[in-house]
């Protein structure tokens, strides 16, 4: 049973560029959340997708957008990259109707903006 | 404005002894709390959770205690093992109705278990 997978593992971009990160949820999960983890900080919630719609959003600008596909996989897009967008981007999957709130994380994508 | 605080950036414990990791929160609407463990180059791994209707939850060597009046929770690891060396994150969420709600994380505590 594959867990949460993310691609790519590492990415280097320059300021002003756009980036797309991808996530496949754990088998049987229907909800995908994205988090940004800056160096020395805990993960910060970006947004959450369920049934191909954004159902919750954290305090991130519109430059951050996402998408969920019918197979529950998801993409995170960031436009007009800034140096401060350099971080580890984590995808987490869960079951919306599941007990509790355990979210299962992927290994992350390390984004470096030069 | 940090709603979940882990005030100890690091902790060193001798193998076999107890590790106690602490977490404080400020948002009274939080009613579900989780601990995650993170190794370098890996994503956080769920460890244990507790609902606000309980004050203790145990899973093997791991026990989480919740003091709602003090808005404080702690994770106890007994006995500590070298493989427990990792960064531990405390996280909280509001659960109203069904659904996976956003997690709010602390900054983490790096635990080092010395053989």
| Interchain proximity A42–B34, CB inside 8 Å | no
Contact map slice: B 26-65 vs A, CB within 8 A: 32, 34, 36, 41-46, 49, 51
Q: Are strands A109-113 and B10-14 parallel, antiparallel or unpaired?
A: unpaired
pLDDT of the residue at B99: 61
Smallest CA-to-CA distance from B109 within B58, B75, B80, B82 is with: B75
Q: Quickly state the pLDDT bin for A92 (edges 50, 70, 90).
A: very high
Query: Using an 8 Å Cβ cutoff, are B66 and B33 in contact?
Result: yes
- For the sheet containing B56-59, what is the strand order? B4-5, B19-25, B72-77, B62-67, B56-59
For residue B107, is it left (φ>0), alpha (ψ between -120 and 50) or beta?
A: alpha
Q: What is the CATH number of the domain that holds B25?
A: 2.60.40.10
How far A11 CA lies from chain B's nearest CA (Å)?
A: 14
CA dist B106 → A12, A43, A45, A73, B49 (Å)? 27, 8, 12, 27, 15
Of the residues A29, A91, A101, A103, the best mutation for testing chain B's interface (the one with the most B CB atoms within 10 Å of its CB) is A101
Per-residue pLDDT, A56: 86
d(CA A31, CA A5): 14
What average pLDDT does chain A have? 93
Q: Name B35's bridge partners.
A: B48, B90
pLDDT score of A8: 97
Q: pLDDT at position A102, please?
A: 82
In this structure, of A42-51, A98-107, B63-72, the range with the lowest mean pLDDT score is: A98-107
| Higher local confidence (pLDDT), A101 or A88 | A88
pLDDT at residue A100 above 90?
no
**Structure confidence at residue A98 as a pLDDT band (50, 70, 90):** low
The answer to whether the Cβ–Cβ distance between B34 and A90 falls below 8 Å is no
CB contact under 8 A, B51 and A100: yes
Rounded CA gap, B75 and B77, in Å? 7
- Cβ atoms B45, A103 nearer than 8 A: no
- How many separate domains does chain B show? 1
SS3 A47: strand
Whole-angstrom CA distances from B52 to B6, B28, B57 are: 19, 11, 11
For residue B44, the chain A residues in CB contact (below 8 A) are: 43, 90, 105
Model pLDDT for residues A7-44, shown as the tens digit of each residue: 999 999 999 999 999 999 999 899 999 999 999 899 99
Q: How far apart are CA B36 and CA B6, in angstroms?
A: 13
Judge whether B88 is closer than 8 Å to chain A, CB to CB: no
State the pLDDT at residue B96: 56
Domains in chain A: ranges and CATH: 5-91 (2.60.40.10)
Range of the domain at B52: 4-114
In sequence order, which residues have a C-beta less than 8 Å from that of residue A20 and are 6 or more positions away?
A75, A76, A77
Which of helix, strand or coil describes residue A80?
coil
pLDDT at A99 over 80: no
Let me know: does A113 contact A81? Beta carbons within 8 Å.
yes
Per-block mean pLDDT, blocks of 10 residues, chain B (115 long):
92 98 95 93 92 94 97 98 97 72 93 97
Judging contacts by C-beta atoms under 8 Å, the chain A residues touching residue B34 are 101-102
Contact A103 B103 (CB under 8 A): yes
Q: Which residue blocks in A2-111 are alpha helix, DSSP H?
A: none
* CB contact at 8 A, B71 and B5: no
């Amino acid at each position: 049973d594959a867990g949460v997978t993310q691609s790519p593992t590492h990415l280097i971009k320059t300021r002003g560029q756009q980036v797309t990160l991808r996530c496949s949820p754990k088998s049987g999960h229907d909800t995908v959340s994205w988090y940004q983890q800056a160096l020395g900080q805990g993960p910060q919630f970006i947004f959450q997708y369920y049934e191909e719609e954004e159902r919750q959003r954290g305090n991130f600008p519109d430059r951050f957008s996402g998408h969920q596909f019918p197979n529950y996989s998801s993409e995170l897009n960031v436009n007009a990259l800034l140096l401060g967008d350099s971080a580890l981007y984590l995808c987490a999957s869960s079951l919306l109707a599941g007990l509790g709130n355990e979210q299962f994380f992927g290994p992350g994508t390390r984004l470096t903006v030069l | 404005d940090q709603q979940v605080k882990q005030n100890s950036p690091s902790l060193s414990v001798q193998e076999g002894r107890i590790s106690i990791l602490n977490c404080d929160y400020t948002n009274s609407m939080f009613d579900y709390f989780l601990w995650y463990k993170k190794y370098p180059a890996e994503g956080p791994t769920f460890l244990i959770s507790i609902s606000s209707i309980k004050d203790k939850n145990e899973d093997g060597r791991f026990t989480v205690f919740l003091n709602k009046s003090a808005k404080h929770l702690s994770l106890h690891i007994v006995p500590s093992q070298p493989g427990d060396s990792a960064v531990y994150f405390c996280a909280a969420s509001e659960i109203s109705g069904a659904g996976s709600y956003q997690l709010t994380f602390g900054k983490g505590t790096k635990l080092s278990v010395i053989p």
